[in-house]
Amino acid sequence: LVSRKRQPKDTVVMVGDVPVGGERNVMVAGPCSVESEEQVRQVAQTMSKLGIRLIRGGAYKPRTSPYDFQGLGEEGLKILRRVADEFGLKVVSEIVHPADIEMATQYVDVIQIGARNMQNFELLKAAGSVRKPVLLKRGLAATLEEFMFAAEYIVSRGNTQVILCERGIRTYEKWTRNTLDISAVPILKQESHLPVLVDISHSTGRRDILLPIAKAALAAGADGIMVETHPEPSVALSDAGQQINLEQLEALLTQLRQTHDLV
Ligand code: PEP
Ligand code: MN
């Protein structure tokens, strides 16, 4: 169902009034984790000023260590919803438990399924059973075929609104957190009709190469990019080393807009 052979025409996923796929490119921006209402409001205010519509923020965090900040849970989703409504933004947030999918649809506009859960088949089935767009991230060691089959789990349950997101894969290279598989972009666009985004933050794990990486993603045909941004990255409760501050977000967007129509 997700194959281009079955549907030659691009799928445009409507997130409220924001199209993902199609003519314009989108930027999904926001903090790694929802930490407080004030933190989310600062980000949202800047985004609305810049004309970026899709805010991200993790409320359920799949952390490597059980001793690290695990997220605010449902309270985090409530914060996102309140602040997003205040600024006319749409919410993208990760859900990690199948039983939370139904509840999450009250708060989020896009259900994110993270890299670590790309092959959590019960979660995929649950996401397929609701009528909400799903942003599915590529697994840390998933082939593109496995990635497309994961999307197929969702679509085959009747939820056709799936956005694919390349976020880098595990390799031996240590100078980036993951290795962005740039060839995944044109291949996924060729093999599938679903929109494709590139997460430039988790794929690199560093903020000093975001502009060339974002340009590469868009040049390769991505429908948009995801970037982590925080009012004060150095004190972030997760991914402090890769998030950009709000001035850097504005600078990145301004530079990308010289060549791309990005909302
Ligand atoms: C995230 O986007 O918040 C995240 C945890 O990313 P990933 O699942 O790609 O590691
Ligand atoms: Mn993160």
What does the pLDDT read at residue 168?
98
* Residues of the chain predicted below pLDDT 70: none
Per-position DSSP letters for 105-131, written without gaps between them: TTT-SEEEE-GGGTT-HHHHHHHHTSS
What does the pLDDT read at residue 70?
97
What does the pLDDT read at residue 157?
98
Q: Is 115 in the pocket of ligand 1 (CB under 6 A)?
A: yes
Among 80, 93, 199, 230, which is best to mutate for testing ligand 1, by the most ligand atoms less than 8 A from CB? 199
Q: Is 202 in the pocket of ligand 1 (CB under 6 A)?
A: yes
- Three-state DSSP at 202 gives helix
What does the pLDDT read at residue 244?
98
Spans of all domains in the chain: 13-254
Q: Which residue has its alpha carbon closest to ligand 1 atom 5? A: 114
What does the pLDDT read at residue 256?
98
| CA torsion angle 129 18 140 149 (round to 10) | 40
What does the pLDDT read at residue 52?
98
Centroid of ligand 2 to alpha carbon of 8 (angstroms): 34
What does the pLDDT read at residue 188?
98
What does the pLDDT read at residue 126?
98
For helices 37-50 and 246-257, give the axis angle rounded to 10 degrees: 20
The architecture in CATH of the region 13-254 reads: Alpha-Beta Barrel (3.20)
Atom number of ligand 1 nearest to Cα 58: 3
What does the pLDDT read at residue 123?
98
Q: Which residues surround ligand 2, an ion (CB under 5 A)?
A: 32, 239
Q: Is 53 in the pocket of ligand 1 (CB under 6 A)?
A: no
Ligand nearest to the backbone CA of 32: 2
Q: Which residue has its alpha carbon closest to ligand 1 atom 10? A: 115
Atom number of ligand 1 nearest to Cα 114: 8
Q: Is 167 in the pocket of ligand 1 (CB under 6 A)?
A: yes
80-127: pLDDT as tens digits: 999 999 999 999 999 999 999 999 999 999 999 999 999 999 999 999
What does the pLDDT read at residue 98?
98
Task: Count CB atoms within 10 A of the CB of residue 136.
Answer: 25
Centroid of ligand 2 to alpha carbon of 254 (angstroms): 23
